[in-house]
Amino acid sequence: MAFGLIGEHLGHSYSPEIHKRLRGYEYELCPMPPAALPAFFARREFQGINVTIPYKQAVIPYCDALSDTARRVGAVNTIVRRSDGTLYGDNTDPAGFQFMLNEAGIALTGKHVLILGNGGASLTVKLIAAELGAKSITVIGRSDFESMVAHKNTQVIVNATPVGMFPHGEGCPAEPERFPALEAAADLIYNPLRTRFLQKARKVGLATADGLSMLVAQAAASAVLFTGEDCGEGEAARVLTGLRRDLENWVLIGMPGSGKSSLGQRLAEKSGRPFVDLDLEIEKFAGRPGSDILVTQGEAAFRELEAQMVSLFGAKTGQVIATGGGAVLRRPNVEALRSNGRLLWIRRDRQYLATAGRPLSVDLESLERERRPFYEGAADVQIEHNEDWETAFEKAWEVFNP
């Protein structure tokens, strides 16, 4: 192995794709138990590795030398085998966190900063906050979360815990609206792209920063150590833009019969993305048409099945998703779809809506009046679909490919 990542449980990692986009080299994932570390480092069969949970401190004794940054943080996330065979340990997380703040336009100088979590990640955040001149820095462990509301003067909150991380994306470590002085929220989690914490922060108008930017920037800094070739912030920004575009789901919402499935299928065909029709997925799961479920079991039973499909597919990335007309009636569904997606409302006048085989479309006027506020509240952007299909498709394509 030339380059790669070691950790105990790596699961699905974006790191191989990020390093491929940065410098084109192969990058391997190497999950290993703690007992395997001594033999791994004895062999030293690598040029450069990244280190993740739970080994960022455990690998320090295997390093022959440490950077000043690694010493100050007290952890190592990058190890390079030098020409003389010795191992040099560094930590690129501080550079990643600094980039994350810059990219989001979040300043810590003179601010009251609250860090959630007292694990290894919080050490990086605390170091950078101090270097940037934060007015105060408070670190709260997960067992003490209930006490955080006492810090009413908090201006920036940074989540350095796994609360809200896939596959438990419904978790939220703090309620931003409970902090009257809050200006910004940052979350080190990168999967999902938008945690519930960041979604709530955006809802009350705060600046937000997500963990994907930190992941890409720390990888870029590691690539410099691996290859000796400077990447620079411009390179990290380029990779971040492309990765965000490719990972983000394109989600279509709107009234039944507004053309979500037809437009979604065509968007998928042109982009090469997988297409997901949530109504069809409900039918596959239930083994019968959705109209039968609505007629025989009622709308409540159908909505429960719908919520399961929304949760399942909303947690995935890089798809085109056509939702059912009532998918956004439940707030948890909207949050699940927004976790990795951008929501496009397909607006179509009633006279153009298809109604055949749709039990809930008997009284379109009442249905539209009831649902319109939900579409308005859920949509990130909207287009009108009252002209020909080609025009509607071009509008939708432009939304996702500006």
Structure-block tokens of residue 26? 């192969």
Q: b/e per residue, 115-135, with b = 16+ CB within 10 A?
A: bbbbebbbbbbbbbbeeeebe
Q: In this predicted structure, what is the pLDDT of residue 355?
A: 66
- Tens of pLDDT, residues 41-79: 999 999 999 999 899 999 999 999 999 999 999 999 999
pTM for this one? 0.92
Beta strands at 78-81 and 87-90: parallel, antiparallel or unpaired: antiparallel
Q: In this predicted structure, what is the pLDDT of residue 278?
A: 97
Q: In this predicted structure, what is the pLDDT of residue 362?
A: 60
Reduced to 3 states (helix: H, G, I; strand: E, B; else coil), residue 72 is helix
Q: In this predicted structure, what is the pLDDT of residue 351?
A: 83
Burial status of residue 193 (CB atoms within 10 A of its CB: 0-12, 13-18, 19 or more): buried
Q: In this predicted structure, what is the pLDDT of residue 291?
A: 84
Q: In this predicted structure, what is the pLDDT of residue 366?
A: 86
User: Which of the residues in the chain have pLDDT under 70?
Assistant: 231-233, 355-362
C-beta neighbour count of 23 within 10 angstroms = 18
Question: In whole angstroms, what is the distance from residue 351 CA to residue 364 CA?
Answer: 9
Express the helix, strand and coil content of the chain in percent, nearest 5 each: 50, 15, 35
Q: In this predicted structure, what is the pLDDT of residue 232?
A: 61
Please name each of the domains of the chain with its CATH number.
3-90+215-236 (3.40.50.10860), 94-209 (3.40.50.720), 248-400 (3.40.50.300)
- Tens of pLDDT, residues 259-305: 999 999 999 999 999 999 999 999 999 999 988 898 899 989 999 99
Q: In this predicted structure, what is the pLDDT of residue 295?
A: 85
Catalytic residue among 56, 111, 126, 200: 56
Q: In this predicted structure, what is the pLDDT of residue 104?
A: 97
Q: Among this protein's residues, is 260 annotated catalytic?
A: no
Q: In this predicted structure, what is the pLDDT of residue 183?
A: 98
Q: In this predicted structure, what is the pLDDT of residue 146?
A: 85
Q: In this predicted structure, what is the pLDDT of residue 294?
A: 86
Q: In this predicted structure, what is the pLDDT of residue 360?
A: 58
Residues 6+ apart with CB under 8 A from 146: none
Q: In this predicted structure, what is the pLDDT of residue 364?
A: 77
